Chain A
Amino acid sequence: MIYARRASPLHAARPVVGVAWCAALVVAALVVDHPLVLAALLVAVVASGLAARVGDRLAGAARIAVPIGVMWLLIEPLVLRDGLTVIARLGELPPFGRLDITLEATVAGAIFGLRAVVVIMAFGLYAAAVDPDEVLRLFRRRGLRSALTVTVATRMVGVLERDARRMADGQRCRGTGEASRLAVVRTVAGGALERALDVSAALELRGYGARRPGDHRRRSPAWSRHDLAFAASAVAVIALVVLGEISGATAFEWNPRLDAAGLAEAGPLSAALLLVMLVPFLDRRGIAR
């Protein structure tokens, strides 16, 4: 999930716009409950990844996202006691007690799982298509803390990936028997704070965040058509989500009884979201094929 420069409209957009566009995608996924809208957002992420020529990187994100989504789908019906439409009676099952699987709880699990997949894939798209170096420069004068947050969100992915690969080798070198995969994940995660501090120290040693008198500020170039298109797309996504929430088009009733009839009502909004997210990719003028 490391950034790779590719010829695409999203790569051509300035980093602040790329960040805003990916953030709009994540916000939409976090706000909306409607499965059709979430499905549209997932299609938008995948299609955007392909249009940005980072499908291979997005596949890496999918390998993390899909198991998490499936886990959510499987666990939620076991722990959620809502819903009236029982689809399976499992009887007494420790530690859950009497267990009835309801259609509504299953749908809720699917919604949460789908949301998790969209959010993780959107982060994957961000990491693959928005230049982290430019993002770091963007935050240069915002101070070290904000820079560190941004760096941890982007640069640390690669650092921890390398750590995990090394430790996976280390696991195989243990004469005492291989440590569990969970132990590897725990050790990598446990070292993340230390690694973040190392990165923070490196940033400081290179003079990051220090304000200097007479700083030469790079004059920002005029906004390109790609900047304008993706910025407009981000604004439109948020506007459509707000509109959907106010109008009730994105409302989805699943408790106490699933209202399948309302599913299609979000169709136009979903289509609109998909459209406004993908339209900026259509302008491929000036991008080598």
Chain B
Amino acid sequence: MSLVSLSGVTYTYPGASGAALRDVALEVEAGEFVVVAGLSGSGKSTLVRILSGLAPHTLGGTFGGRAVVAGMDTREHGPGELAVAVGTLLQDPETQTVMGTVRAELAFPLENQGEPPGAVARGVEEVALALGIAPLLDRSTAQLSGGELQRVALGAALAGHPQLVVLDEPTSQLDPVAGDELIWLLRRLNEEWGTTVVLVEHRLERCLAAADRVLAFAGGEVAFDGAPSPFLDWALAAAPPLATPGARLFALAGLSPSPAGVKAARAALATAHLDASSGVLTTHTVVNTPLDGEVLRFKRVWHELAGGRTILRDVDLRFAPGERIALMGRNGAGKSTLLRHAKGLLEPTRGKVRVGGPVALLLQHPGDLLFADRVADELPPQALAAAGLTALRERHPRDLSGGERQRLALAVATHGAQTPAVVCLDEPTRGMDRARKADLAEEIDRLAAEGAAVLVATHDPEFAVAFADRVILLGDGIVLADGTPEEVLAGGWYFATEVARITRGAALTAEDGAQTLANIKGSDPLMRNIKGSDPLMRVVEA
């Protein structure tokens, strides 16, 4: 019998006009590692809520069909009962911690299962060691960063050794290092403990290599169900935003089959006698000439906390009008702190921050900038029109989609008597699909064209390459690297695009990679029809 069996499942959220899932039928066998792909609103998160029992028990709504998880019919068994067999990790870690300390948080599910104290203590230690959070055990959950909270919430989901783990974009708040670690930890659990994994992810290039199977959702229905490589072939033809950079590289270079990961791609290139590292670095084609002058200057800035912890150490940076800068680094490297200094929300402990005009800052949670009950009350009509939000003027900001809310918040942040000289965006692509990232990249282009220096803190190297002409890598409050995307993102391992990893730094994007391979082969890249349909390729087309 399958561990998960869905037949004819249709689910509609309370008050929604249409079904989020329509007539879904699928089976997941014990021990499978399944990646769930799809654009925003395709029904991926709803699947997680159904497998965990939240829909319909906690969320309400209308549920049709039958879902059986670990032998329990979800119509009869709520999340509390399903928790014995299902560990769940939702998108926002801040709402998933219920206890005061990390140790108590990890012990909580085991205690709820009625485990004796000895088994609880052992379970806590084991899961803490497996996730590398043992040093956090006695910390208060209120003091943890987003990335730390995510790992603790994952620990709580895994502590009870569930048969099935369902995760909704667990890497969205993690830096590339922590994200990769988490995916491979899941793979290890899958292989060593036999835990079945259902993982919803937008950044597929991170996780396809670990997957046995991919389910792609579109419009609430299963659009594809199969192995990772055939999925990529399907995506290139039917849903280009879901294709990974590696798959696009292969398609453009006329290679097949589509590689599910860096290892498979390199093996295929070796078989085809294409050693990309022998090629000359092909630059990507973001064309931007920053204007003369200086709109923001960090002059030997230090930021120290009362307890003695240092967040920024002697940061010395200048920014020119029209520059597009990606600020990268691990969780806790100081990216958000730097942006807050630019806005003036923080005062440096030492050093100076000088700005040449108004600074706009879009915080990580766009909703934190919105206080009115109607969209129309947030901005004057002409500003709403400029942001393309006039049609939504009567809606409550809380009822907007993630992308719409972000657009409104950005318009609120940048609106004012004067055009902002600097626009800072703090991790704006969390939970975004590639299509929405492309919209955001266009917005960044527009702001830069108006003369603003645009600083974007991001964990997403693919997005950084798509918009930035300068990349700053922070580590422990120190500027580790500051240069063009080619200089910073080509040679690294974690802070590198998938194509850079495949080509060993010879190219950053699929298009440049294909050109590099074509140069080696002495032929033109095929540049098949997929090029025009990749949303993040707009820069190349320009």
What residues of chain A have their CB less than 8 Å away from a CB belonging to chain B? 2-3, 131-133, 136-137, 140, 144, 151, 155, 158-159, 162, 166-167, 169-176, 179, 183-184, 186-187, 191, 195, 197-210, 212, 214-218
Tell me which residues across on chain B come within 8 A of A136, comparing CB atoms.
Answer: 98-99
B421 smallest CB distance to A (angstroms): 12
Taking A198-B95, A205-B157 as known contacts, 7 extra A-B pairs with beta carbons closer than 8 A to each other, sorted by chain A number, are A140-B112, A175-B416, A176-B412, A176-B416, A201-B95, A204-B57, A204-B79
Q: Say yes or no: A167-B142 contact (C-beta < 8 A), given A204-B54, A206-B108.
A: no
Tell me which residues across on chain B come within 8 A of A203, comparing CB atoms.
Answer: 98
What residues of chain B have their CB less than 8 Å away from a CB belonging to chain A? 52-54, 57-58, 78-81, 83-84, 88, 90, 92, 94-101, 104, 108-109, 111-117, 140, 142, 156-157, 160, 340, 343, 345, 358, 360-363, 365, 368-372, 378-379, 398, 412-416, 420
Are A205 and B379 neighbours in the complex by a CB distance under 8 Å? no
Are A210 and B100 neighbours in the complex by a CB distance under 8 Å? no
Tell me which residues across on chain B come within 8 A of A207, comparing CB atoms.
Answer: 80-81, 83-84, 109, 112-113, 160
Partner of A170, one of B53, B79, B92, B369: B369
| Assembly CA distance A63 to B101 (angstroms) | 26
Minimum CB distance partner of B78 in chain A: A204
Are A206 and B156 neighbours in the complex by a CB distance under 8 Å? yes
A172 smallest CB distance to B (angstroms): 6
**10 cross-chain pairs, A with B, having the tightest CB-CB distances, nearest first:** A170-B368, A210-B80, A207-B83, A198-B95, A207-B112, A175-B416, A215-B114, A204-B79, A179-B371, A183-B371
Are B108 and A199 neighbours in the complex by a CB distance under 8 Å? no
**Residue of A136, A175, A209 with most partner-chain B CB within 10 A:** A175
**Residue of B78, B112, B360, B398 with most partner-chain A CB within 10 A:** B112
Are B416 and A205 neighbours in the complex by a CB distance under 8 Å? no
Partner of B54, one of A155, A175, A201: A201
Are B413 and A173 neighbours in the complex by a CB distance under 8 Å? yes
A119 smallest CB distance to B (angstroms): 24
CB pairs A–B below 8 angstroms (23 shown): A133-B104, A140-B112, A162-B142, A166-B363, A171-B369, A171-B371, A173-B362, A175-B413, A176-B379, A183-B371, A187-B371, A195-B95, A198-B95, A199-B98, A202-B96, A204-B57, A204-B79, A205-B79, A205-B96, A208-B80, A210-B83, A215-B114, A217-B114
Tell me which residues across on chain A come within 8 A of B83, comparing CB atoms.
Answer: 204-207, 210
**Residue of A2, A179, A183, A205 with most partner-chain B CB within 10 A:** A205
Tell me which residues across on chain A come within 8 A of B99, comparing CB atoms.
Answer: 132-133, 136
| Assembly CA distance A2 to B114 (angstroms) | 28
Tell me which residues across on chain A come within 8 A of B104, comparing CB atoms.
Answer: 133
Q: Say yes or no: A212-B113 contact (C-beta < 8 A), given A175-B420, A207-B83.
A: yes
Minimum CB distance partner of A182 in chain B: B371
| Assembly CA distance A166 to B363 (angstroms) | 9
Tell me which residues across on chain A come within 8 A of B343, comparing CB atoms.
Answer: 172-173
Partner of A169, one of B80, B156, B345: B345
| Assembly CA distance A25 to B94 (angstroms) | 33
| Assembly CA distance A183 to B369 (angstroms) | 11
Tell me which residues across on chain B come within 8 A of A159, comparing CB atoms.
Answer: 94-95
Are B368 and A169 neighbours in the complex by a CB distance under 8 Å? yes
Q: Say yes or no: A216-B116 contact (C-beta < 8 A), given A162-B142, A204-B80, A206-B98.
A: yes
Minimum CB distance partner of B140 in chain A: A2
Tell me which residues across on chain A come within 8 A of B368, comparing CB atoms.
Answer: 166-167, 169-170, 173
Are B113 and A199 neighbours in the complex by a CB distance under 8 Å? no
| Assembly CA distance A133 to B115 (angstroms) | 17
Tell me which residues across on chain A come within 8 A of B57, comparing CB atoms.
Answer: 204
Are A212 and B114 neighbours in the complex by a CB distance under 8 Å? yes
Are A162 and B360 neighbours in the complex by a CB distance under 8 Å? no
| Assembly CA distance A201 to B368 (angstroms) | 22
Tell me which residues across on chain A come within 8 A of B80, comparing CB atoms.
Answer: 144, 204, 207-210
Minimum CB distance partner of A151 in chain B: B98
A177 smallest CB distance to B (angstroms): 8
| Assembly CA distance A156 to B469 (angstroms) | 43
| Assembly CA distance A202 to B88 (angstroms) | 9
